[in-house]
Structure 1
Amino acid sequence: MCAPFALMGIRPSDRAADMRENDKAVESPTKTGSGLPSFKTHPLREAALGEIHARPFRPLEGPRIVLLYAFTITSEQAAEDHEWFSEFCASRGAPGPSPKARYHTLSFASGTLSWERHAEFITYIWDGPAPAAVPFGPLPSNHPFGTAFRAPGPLLVSARLDLLPSTISTDWRKHYDPASLTEFNIERSSGTAATDFRTDGDGLVRYLVLNNDMTPVQCGSVVQRLLEIETYRTLALLGLFEATRQQPRISQYEAKLFELTHKMQENSGLDENRTLLDQLSSLAASLEASAAESAYRFGASRAYYEIVNARLAALEEQPVSGSLSLSAFLGRRLGPAMRTCQSIQDRQWDLSKKLARATTLLRTRVDVDLEQQNRSLLESMNRRARIQLRLQQTVEGLSVAAVSYYVVGLISYLAKAAKESGFPLPNPNLMTGLSVPLVVAAIWLTVRNIRKHHAEGDRDTSD
């Protein structure tokens, strides 16, 4: 056992000491009652484990009535509704939802009231015993959606589902519009469901589920899927109205882009190109704002549409002979609506790419025009600098002559004064004449040195 450590130059005693140190460094897990260790858990472990059980199928037996209401909300309305529902639960002696809860149930009037919060809507679902085994009879008077109920926001979805035995009379079809009636078998023909997606006098879309030999769990799953289909198909259609609202804007943007790109073909000047560039930038900003405004709605509609398709697949419906299936009815309406949303979004993306290309081309043209303008300006400045240099040289020559003239005059006065004062000097006129070249040379050198000094100072400043 010690040979491998000896070959590596490690003594067994050292190895044992290291292992003891490591055991001290690592915190040992505590033992549970079963003898298994209890490890430190991830902060989201409980939430992840509980999420799978957040919305279980609730077993249902007929005759039963289920009412669904879905309200669109803002974040402020969601907080207010959570507070109200908590107080509502407390008034009935039941605990309310936790601060971060998204699903909660409450026993109410021999039934169950379910509250569920989503990103942009809240649903209230109540199921209770039907007063009689007849389709769409009077509602129980003790349902929770009376005067005491507080709607959290604008109502979007409202539905009624009656779960009844299949032994009822077949005259239930009189409650539906034959033109839009969908009737289909569910759970391998263990039951039948029907709806026409039209609202009754209470504004409720009516669903009927006839139970042949479904278990309570099967009834609960079918009811939940039908209510989810009703909720999410309505939410998915919100994207269609956003697409309809955006369509005139997209057409205006496309026409404006065509007009601007046509003007770009003209050989305009820098000012005109700058104006075009400003217009393109403004158009691009408007388009991006419009696309950002609708992106969430289109994305949400696609997600809701996928949920509807998933629930339809899970329903495993089989159309009744001579009637439309639920999938066929919704597919004929939801499918084109989703394609319209995708078409508008594709037009936005395509228009954005075209605007980006046109802006890049025009910006390049403006940059080239600016470079040409700057080059012409520099050449003009160089010409002016050369002219100024010539003028400066001319002025310097004249200034040398002028200064020399006055200096020679001073020398002449000094020579004459010295001669008259008795100084032994030659002829003053001769001295004046001889001083002329010396004075001119001295002044010229002085001016040259001054100019050279200034030039060196300018170079140092520029560096």
Structure 2
Amino acid sequence: MSSRLASLDIHPLRNELYNELHSRPFQVLPTPARVTQIAVLTTPEQRQAQFHHLQELHRLLGHPVPEQEVSCFEHTFGTLSSGTLRVRREMHMEFASYTFINLAASDQAPFLETGISPLPEGWLEALTGTVIAAFHLDVRPAADGTRDDLDYVRKHFEGMRLVGSSPQEGAARVWGTFRLHSDGFGRFMVMNHHMSDSQLGRLTQRLMEIETYRLMSLLALPVAREITPALNDMDEQLAVITRSLAENEAVDEETLLARLTHIAARIEAFRAQSTFRFSATRAYHRLVLTRLEELREDELSGHLTLTEFMTRRLTPAVKTCEAVSERLEDLSRRVDRASDMMRTRVELAIQSQNQQVLSSMDRRSKIQLMMQHTVEGFSVVAITYYLVGLLKLGLESAHDAGVDFNKTLILGIAIPVVMALVYLGVRVVHHRFIRMAKHQ
């Protein structure tokens, strides 16, 4: 490192970030060549097993064994004089792609000898993972004219309808069917007119990525088809629930909430199952469209170009997946709104019940107040009666002791006075309790 940078704080990923843009270089591919690509879905456990399997290939062919796994590994076995096999392994997020390039000169017809022909017997069959893409790509020099190209190509695609174009302003001709042939592999043929080895390598790389990514993008279609009937059923249930709420029908709120909760749980389960797959489909589809744009195709002999074929066949499938994904999100939002309406309805019902309870309590309070006033009146009379009785006993005792006075007159005058004093005392106590209650 330069002494000028030695004292600076260097990001630990700086070198890795620089190398990332150069980790997957384009092939340099001569003409003729036979290429086979196999893409396998892998788990983290299978990746390690696949690397050990790649090391075994080196041992079988007598080459030094790689010690460290990298995201893009490439090695050439043999020489041009004895037959050359180039193996390239690229690790992606969900899958690993193996590209086998047979560069040995051969006069055999297309697809009789392929990129995997030089592999040791039994090695490919022991490869772990689930195959998602497998196809041969035969690169040959072009015939003298387009018609001669087409007559030659037709014989090697088992009578299937061809898709073809002239990429890079006529520098080559590309033919394929996007179907599986009798050997279980797909097929492409590239007729090289005047492409350099570097240009040809970039062209074949784009073709392989288009085929692999378009299959990866279609993985979500079975998922979309599987969950669509369930979405239809939940949509109908939600429509019934929403209509009953809108029409203010007498419904069992507890039952409706249970149904809404069940629908919401199913939607979340479907989202957990499909969200990543649908997002990956959109990403792979964008990659396919980008690679198609880079081909810069021209039409050939009235055949569909690769771009036209993908637009007519792949794009509707991707749109279907996107529609199901959007429908899941829409159902989730509608369930949330219906749940909000149901909660609002329950809250209003609870508030109405509370209002009725408060009104009933208010009525009972008024009745209790009236009863309290009545009791207070009775209590004044009772207390006055007992106090006057006591006063009478005192007056009789004083009269018997020789004090001369008119008992009857004094008692008559005392009764209203005692009653007034008792009434005032009761009111004072009553108001004191009210003030105490207000301060609490």
1:184 maps to which of 144, 150, 165: 165
Q: CA deviation at 1:232?
A: 0.5
CA contact under 8 A between 1:236 and 1:305: conserved in structure 2?
yes
Shift, 1:294, TM fit: 3.3
The CA RMSD over aligned residues, in Å, is 3.6
Match of 1:157 among 119, 133, 140: 133
| Cα deviation 1:127-170 (Å, max 9, x = unaligned) | 2345844212254252597268441x332222222334446996
Q: Following TM superposition, by how much is the alpha carbon of 1:453 offset from its aligned partner in structure 2, in angstroms?
A: 2.8
User: Corresponding residue for 1:3?
Assistant: none
Aligned pairs, number: 422
1:384: Cα distance to partner? 1.4
Cα pair 1:63 1:133 within 8 Å, conserved: no
Question: Which has the larger displacement, 353-362 or 189-198?
Answer: 353-362
Q: For the Cα contact (< 8 Å) 2:102–2:118, is it kept in 1?
A: no
- Is the 1:87–1:96 contact (alpha carbons within 8 Å) kept by the matching residues of 2? no
Letter in 2 for 1:204: F
Match for residue 412 of structure 1 among 392, 400, 413:
392
Point out the more displaced range, 88-97 or 192-201.
88-97
- Are the aligned partners of 1:412 and 1:429 in contact in 2 as well (CA < 8 Å)? no
Match of 2:419 in 1: 440
* 2:111 matches 1:142: no
Checking the alignment, whether the CA contact within 8 Å between 1:133 and 1:164 is kept in structure 2 is no
Q: Which amino acid aligns with 1:401?
A: V
Structure 2 counterpart of 1:314, one-letter code: E
The residue identity in structure 1 corresponding to 2:112 is G
C-alpha separation in 1, matches of 2:361 and 2:420:
33
Question: What's the counterpart of residue 315 of structure 1?
Answer: 295
Closer/same/farther in 2, CA of residues 202 and 409 from structure 1, 3 Å limit: farther
Distance between the aligned counterparts of 1:126 and 1:454, measured in 2? 99
More displaced stretch, 280-289 vs 337-346: 280-289
CA contact (8 A) 2:38 2:134 kept: yes
Assess if the C-alpha contact under 8 Å between 1:64 and 1:130 holds in 2.
Answer: yes
Query: Any unmatched runs of 5+ in structure 1?
Result: 1-28
What does 1:223-372 align with in structure 2 at a 5 Å threshold? 223-269=204-250, 272=252, 276=256, 279-280=259-260, 282-284=262-264, 286-287=266-267, 290-291=270-271, 293-352=273-332, 354-355=334-335, 363-372=343-352
In structure 2, what is the Cα distance between the partners aligned to 1:187 and 1:453?
Answer: 102
Q: 1:438 to 1:118 in 2, by over 3 A?
A: farther
- Structure 2 regions of 5+ residues with no counterpart? 79-83
Q: Which residue of 1 aligns with 2:191?
A: 210
Aligned to 1:198, what secondary structure does the other structure show?
coil
Matching residue's letter, 2:382? A
- CA–CA separation in structure 1 for the residues paired with 2:2 and 2:25: 34
CA–CA separation in structure 2 for the residues paired with 1:236 and 1:145: 30
Q: Matches of 1:335 and 1:283 in 2, distance apart?
A: 30
CA–CA distance in 1 between the matches of 2:162 and 2:407?
A: 135
> Whole-Å Cα distance in 2 between the matches of residues 120 and 457 of structure 1?
75
Aligned partner of 2:379 among 399, 406, 410? 399
Deviation track 1:208-238 (CA, whole Å, cap 9, x = no partner) reads: 2333443221222122111101111101112
Within the candidate set 47, 50, 66, 1:81 is matched to: 47
Equivalents in 1 of 2:417, 2:174: separation in Å?
124
Supply the distance in 2 between the matched residues of 1:107 and 1:318 (Cα, whole angstroms).
34
Equivalences for residues 10-21 of structure 1 within 5 A: none
Higher mean alpha-carbon deviation, 280-289 vs 130-139, is at 280-289
User: How much has 1:315 moved relative to structure 2?
Assistant: 2.0
Residues 158, 181 of structure 2: 8 Å contact kept: no
User: The residue matched to 1:116 in structure 2 has which SS?
Assistant: strand
Larger relative contact order (CA 8 Å, sep ≥ 6):
2
Residues 326/130 of structure 1: CA separation in 2 closer, same or farther (3 Å cut): farther
Query: Offset at 1:57?
Result: 0.7
Rounded Cα–Cα distance in structure 2 between residues aligned with 1:425 and 1:123: 132
CA distance in 2, matches of 1:423, 1:137: 152
Q: CA offsets, 1:287-316, max 9 Å, x none?
A: 455456434323321221121121122223
Give the TM-score normalised by structure 2: 0.80
Asked if structure 2 preserves the Cα contact closer than 8 Å seen for 1:112 and 1:126, the reply is yes
Deviation at 1:176, TM superposition (A): 1.6
Residues 374 and 181 (structure 1 numbering): CA distance in 2 closer, same or farther, change over 3 Å? same
Asked whether the equivalents of residues 142 and 192 of structure 2 are also in contact (C-alpha less than 8 Å), the reply is yes
Tell me, yes or no, if structure 1 residue 119 matches structure 2 residue 105: no
Q: Percent identity at matched positions?
A: 33
Equivalent residue number for residue 451 of structure 1: 430
Residue 70 of structure 1, aligned match among 13, 27, 39: 39
After superposing the two structures, state which structure 1 stretch, 391-400 or 42-51, moved more.
42-51
- 1:68 and 1:124 in contact (8 A); partners too: yes
Structure 2: distance between partners of 1:124 and 1:300:
21
